[in-house]
Amino acid sequence: MNKPAIVLFLASMAFLCVRLGIPRGSVLDEFHYVSGAKALYDKTPGLWHGLPDTNPEHPPLGKYLIGLGIEVAGDNPTGWRLGSALFGAITVTVIFVWVSELKDRFTAWLAVALVLSNGFWFVMSRVAMISIFQLCFCLIGFYLFSKERVVWSGVSLGLAAACRWNAVFAVGLLVAWLTLRKMPEIRKAAQLLASFVIAYVAACLPVVRFRLRDFVQAQIFIFNYHKHANGVDRIAERWYEWPFRTEPQFALNFLIANPIVLILGALAVVYLLFKPSYRLLAVAPIVFYLEWAIIPRPYEYYYYFFDSVVFLSIVAAIMLSELRGKLRWFPYAAVAVAALWFLLHYADFTYLATPWDGALNAIKF
């Protein structure tokens, strides 16, 4: 039994649940996903045969997981966000276990500290949106892949895609990694891909009442919706603007990336690309970032940067650990500065009025 991991999970859950029900109204796209979750969980026809999905532009699994929180805590802001908090706590626990086995316990705690400090994890684990579910399943898939359990890795990545389609790029990365090596492992790549497809289909079939034709039509609708999404959104941005953003996205709980983590992560990517044992991990944040340059979507949102920011936190921790032998003080100093940045913004993330931000004092919840 990994006692530190259990303690970390419980502490993370408690940390995320403070003021979880604030604000009391919907934040950004919460309305769409909560509406979809409640439709799918309609109790009259039963769990798997609810009303038509009111949010058909995304696969159903993330909305079912939001619905679980509503089942437990009720149809209120806390209930809407409880599933996200749970998976946020699971996410940071998986990172701890993965990095502990990949390197050591010290590096794992560094990774946890940087993930907790980066702003994105905290905010995205406290909103009723589907990004945290997709990321959590992706991280589990990477962890299982590192243990050479490719079938279960594919299953987890299939569940990630059943929350949000961009998990397909994670699968593509792992398949490419297996097939482009000096000693290609085509069989493992095929197993991973097959288990991914099976898990995705299995997760999506219930919402279309196990009708294959409806399943195919649902996938076509998702693709066409995102390819031809129209309208102009005032908070939309392009992917190449995200790393340089200095103003928070106020529409989503003061969302802003920790610049210390971004700088360390960018340096770590370059550093670890020359370390064969960590090269796959170094490539991951690049793939999660540049996928938005490829996806044929007219506009993107800042929170799409979430996956990359979390992976940058992990690679930054590994680089800091590697530098510990030469600059023993540097990892501690870097984490301390990153944590200080988070603490200075904690009141903004949780909608607390602060003496140094008079604007928030006027907000009443």
If one compares 184 and 96, the residue with the highest pLDDT of the two is 96
Q: What are the residue ranges spanned by the domains of the chain?
A: 3-214+237-352
Q: What pLDDT digit, counting tens, does each position of 181-235 carry? A: 878 899 999 999 999 999 999 999 888 777 888 888 888 888 888 776 655 566 6
DSSP category for residue 257: -
Q: Is 312:266 a contact under the CB 8 Å cutoff? A: yes
H/E stretch holding 95 reads helix 77-102
Token pair listed for 150: 């490719």
In this model, does residue 99 exceed pLDDT 80? yes
Q: What pLDDT digit, counting tens, does each position of 130-153 carry? A: 999 999 999 999 999 999 999 999
What DSSP assignment string belongs to 258-280? -HHHHHHHHHHHHHHTT-GGGHH
Q: Is 193:175 a contact under the CB 8 Å cutoff? A: yes
Whole-number pLDDT of residue 162 = 96
**Number of residues assigned to the chain:** 365
How big is the CA angle at 245 (ends 253 and 247), to the nearest 5 degrees? 50
Would you call 94 exposed, middle or buried from its count of C-beta atoms within 10 A (0-12, 13-18, 19+)? buried
Whole-number pLDDT of residue 358 = 45
281-286 contact pairs (CB < 8 A, 24+): 281/102, 281/142, 281/311, 281/314, 281/315, 281/318, 282/315, 283/173, 284/142, 284/170, 284/173, 284/311, 284/315, 285/311, 285/312, 285/315
3-state secondary structure of 161: helix
Q: Is 104:13 a contact under the CB 8 Å cutoff? A: no
- Mean pLDDT, range 258-268, rounded to an integer: 96
- Residue 100: φ, ψ to 5°: -60, -45
Token pair listed for 51: 């009303």
196-227 core/surface letters (b: 16 or more CB in 10 A; e: else): beebbeebbbbbbeeeeeebeebbeebeeebe
Examine residue 355 and say whether the peptide bond preceding it is cis (omega within 30 degrees of 0). no
Residue type (1 letter), 239: W
CA distance 205 to 216: 10
CA distance 79 to 20: 9
Percent of the chain with pLDDT over 70: 91
3-state secondary structure of 357: strand
Token pair listed for 103: 């390197």
Whole-number pLDDT of residue 315 = 97
Residue type (1 letter), 22: I
Q: What pLDDT digit, counting tens, does each position of 48-58 carry? A: 445 567 777 88
β-strand partners of 255 = 249
78-88 core/surface letters (b: 16 or more CB in 10 A; e: else): bbbbbbbbbbb
If one compares 161 and 301, the residue with the highest pLDDT of the two is 161
Token pair listed for 42: 């309609």
Q: Is 57:164 a contact under the CB 8 Å cutoff? A: no
Instruction: Report the candidate in 160, 169, 133, 154 with the shortest Cα–Cα distance to residue 37.
Output: 133
In this model, does residue 89 exceed pLDDT 70? yes
In this model, does residue 299 exceed pLDDT 70? yes
In this model, does residue 362 exceed pLDDT 60? no
